[in-house]
Amino acid sequence: MLSHIKRILLFIVCCPVILQAQENFTLSGSITDIQSNETLIGVNIIIPQESTGTVTNEYGFYSITLPSGTYEIQVSYLGFKTITETIVLTENLTKNYQLEEAAESLDEVIITEDVERLNIKKPQMSVNSLSIKTIKNMPVVLGEVDVIKSITLLPGVTNAGEGASGFNVRGGGADQNLILLDEAIIFNSSHLFGFFSVFNPDAIKDIKLYKGGIPAKYGGRISSVLDIYQKEGNSNKFHMNGGIGLISSRLLAEGPIEKGKGSFLVAGRSSYAHLFLPLFDLDNVAYFYDLNTKLSYRFNDKNSIFLSGYFGRDVFAISDSFENTYGNSVVNFRWNHLFSDKLFSNVSLIYSDYYYGLNLDFVGFEWESGIRNFNVKYDLKHYISNNFKLEYGLNSIYYRFNPGDIRPSSAESGINSFKLTDKFAFENAVYIDAEHKISDKFSVSYGARFSTFHRLGQNDQNVYANDDPVVFNEAIGIYEKAEPIGTETFDRSDVMASFANIEPRLAMAYQLNDKSSLKASYNRMTQYLHLLTNTNSPTPLDVWTPSGEFIKPQLLDQVALGYFRTFQGNMFSLEVESFYKTIQNRIDFTDGADLIANNAIEQVILNGEARAYGLEVLFRKNEGKFTGWLAYTLSRSEQRTPGRTPVETGINNGEWYVTPFDKTHDISLTGSYELNKKWSFSSNLLFQTGRAVTFPNGQYEYNGLVIPSFEARNSSRLPAYHRLDVAATYNPDPDSTKNFKGEWVFGIYNIYNRRNAANISFRENEMTGSNEAVRLAIFGIVPSVSYNFKF
């Protein structure tokens, strides 16, 4: 009996010690570049003895919870020296690390090993990241580094061809991509009608593309999310860098506002090829310019603010008769606050404006249109434990749509002023996302987004019999515009139509062994805005319109299954994904629809459905002097609009037809080789199935006019698209200790001069009177040279 009492007393005495030994503590902090004090995204914080770790978030913050004890910490990031140190964790600990750039990096990668490392344990899939160093190494047309063109080398990403704006993801339209710059929405991602992107590579810090399994914090588009963050600026010392090319130049300046705490960044870019046009007696103008700005200030370890902006414009003019101006403007204020070592928050106030202006002097009128939005976001990330993390928040956006405002350009013009009806809308969302490590082999991410959309009151809303703005003429088998039976005017505070949707998200990962895993994901997403265009890629003249009484929101359901494996450590990696997605309420246009200056766009729109499915393969060599990847996509993208009643034919007789974004085969091979300190080389090889098109298949004469008849929609294709690009970078003095450093970049785009068809049109030969097909090609072989510098 006495021995039992002794054991009990010993347990009572030792219990606090035992409990203390089992107690968990949190290690947290931020990681920055020692040279610029810029926060670093995606840095690995590894605890080898626990086989666990974490990465920094979009603002350089990390948090990891561990049992009390002594640990070796490894902090690693590509291109920087790895920090290894031992810490004793007996209480919550804040550790800020500053990484030093490595002088040499023989194991340089194209898809960066740390930011884009294939993490077979994480449930996140269908995500690609590209470093700016990677993008700058790629061969490009006319020597202008292009973020958008670079991501089209990834599996599942294409565009409509050379000179086409936007990009397409897994068979979706360009309007179905959510493009964010410092969390602000960008509505047009291209300069000069698609030849270049609006993103200045010198000002960009991080790029991430989500194609599936999209986290619940994102919404409003149904195909993908391209999330881009700008640099914050150097808070330690003043620094400048730039580049001079054949058609454009750029310059960036950054420095401290208060050393170690605040910084500024200003980056400008402009093209100037139009300055040489008068030498060839051409009175035309085509140029762009953009400006990136950012102010950052860190008050203390718990509070930081950021004020960023972007302003870009394109100008295209033909003599004195035509001028086109368009571009994006963005302002964003953000406040980061750390409530505790486990709870990080960010508040964003965002203004975004897309403007389109057209001046037609030879006709005598000016046209303006655009879209503005005011956006409030509040996001929180809660690091509850190593096995469980939460992200939650809310988002509200107010939209004002200007479909078009026509005014006479002079007093002598015979044009009367005409204003298309402005539209207004309010979009709200709340979301929650959980990342849960259930066991050593099985992890899951699950959450939901609840979104609402309210179409607000406007002037002159048409009223139709049976609420049907499109009627079917049975006698001739075509759709026609319904005649309005009246109009209604609403107060701005009125709600004309409302929508609410729950958007569940789920992703899972099962680790087969240390080198491979299986992943699966499902997501539902809702898109309330629609781009009105009947071209294959967006143009500045396209108009955005909100969902409402006659236009329903698009609903996407996507499932994906993937296999992921690494070889020889991380020397090689393989990603194989299959996907299937369906879209409800994909808008389609009636034959002969007129979209420009149409104040009753509902009269030419029908709601249909779409689907896409495919297989993606990405094989990468991540380390060594030669690095690169092979990407292959086999896919199909279709849509259909069946008749609403048994007597209606629908679009294309209600049959499925391939979309203009359908590319059955898409192959890209990208490689980079570092010969020595002075010379490095890179190359891209691309092959894509030709774009689907509709050709005439006959003609008939009516009242003396020759009228063509057409085959079924998109039943023909342009010739296959392929090209080979090469580039060489020469650093004349790589070991220089001078402040000023420079390098030359030489490139050849389309080295074997393939005349890829951008379009095929038909005309009557003036000599023979026979019909003939004419191929339009944008680029042949294009050499380029540019000089980059920094000091």
- 232-243 pLDDT, tens digit per residue, is 999 999 999 999
| Residues 166, 258 contacting (CB under 8 angstroms) | no
Q: What confidence score (pLDDT) does residue 424 get?
A: 95
Cα separation values, 414 from 407, 410, 420, Å: 10, 9, 19
Burial of 133: CB neighbours in 10 Å, binned 0-12, 13-18, 19+: middle
Give which of 294, 101, 80, 330 is closest to 205, Cα–Cα.
294
Q: Is the dihedral of CA 699, 606, 522, 628 positive or negative?
A: positive
What span, in angstroms and rounded, lies between the C-alpha atoms of 119 and 140?
A: 30
User: What is the rounded distance in angstroms from the CA atom of residue 763 to the CA atom of residue 758?
Assistant: 17
User: Are 221 and 233 a contacting pair, CB within 8 Å?
Assistant: no
CB of 504 closer than 8 Å to CB of 524:
yes
Task: Give tens-digit pLDDT for 721-744.
Answer: 999 999 999 999 888 888 888 999
Spell out the residues 6+ positions from residue 135 whose beta carbon is closer than 8 angstroms to its own: 145, 146, 147, 150, 201, 207
More confident residue, 500 or 9: 500
Token pair of 473 as six digits: 């003429």
241-266 average pLDDT score: 92
Determine the Cα–Cα distance for residues 346 and 336; give it in Å rounded to an integer: 5
Measured distance CA(758)–CA(755) in Å, rounded = 9
Q: What is the pLDDT of residues 310-360, one digit of tens each?
A: 999 988 887 777 788 899 999 999 999 999 999 999 999 999 999 988 888
What confidence score (pLDDT) does residue 58 get? 86
Give which of 91, 74, 67, 79 is closest to 19, Cα–Cα.
Answer: 67
* pLDDT tens digits, 511-523: 998 889 999 999 9
| This model's pTM is above 0.85 | yes
Question: What pLDDT is recorded for position 131?
Answer: 79
Q: Which of 145, 150, 144 is nearest to 128 (CA)?
A: 150
- One DSSP character per residue, 370-417 reads EEEEEEEEEEEEEEEETTEEEEEEEEEEEEEEEEEEEEESSTT--PPP
What is the Cα gyration radius of the chain? Answer: 28
The total number of residues shown for the chain amounts to 791
- Give the span between the Cα atoms of 200 and 209, in whole angstroms: 17
CB 749 within 8 A of CB 718: no
Give the bridge partners for 399, in sequence order: 373, 425
What Å distances lie between residue 685 and 127, 365, 670, 673, 679, CA to CA? 22, 46, 7, 15, 21
Are 667 and 631 a contacting pair, CB within 8 Å? yes
**pLDDT above 70 as % of the chain:** 93
Amino acid at position 486, single letter: G
pLDDT of residue 662: 94
Share of the chain above pLDDT 90, in %: 46
Element (H, E) at 3: helix 2-22
Residue 163, CA distances (Å) to 317, 341, 538 in order:
17, 48, 11
What is the band of 143 on the pLDDT scale with cuts at 50, 70, 90? confident
- Both ends of the chain: CA-CA distance in Å? 82
As a whole number of angstroms, the distance between CA 174 and CA 161 comes to 13
pLDDT for the residue numbered 267: 96
**What rounded mean pLDDT belongs to the chain?**
86
Helices (H) and strands (E) in the chain, counts: 3, 53
Say if residue 605's pLDDT is above 70: yes
- Rounded to the nearest angstrom, the gap between the alpha carbon of residue 197 and the centroid of all alpha carbons in its chain is 11
Place of tokens 């389609």: 588
Indicate the helix (H) or strand (E) that contains 713: none
Residue 706: predicted pLDDT: 76
Task: Spell out the residues 6+ positions from residue 556 whose beta carbon is closer than 8 angstroms to its own.
Answer: 222, 223, 523, 524, 525, 526, 527, 581, 582, 583, 584
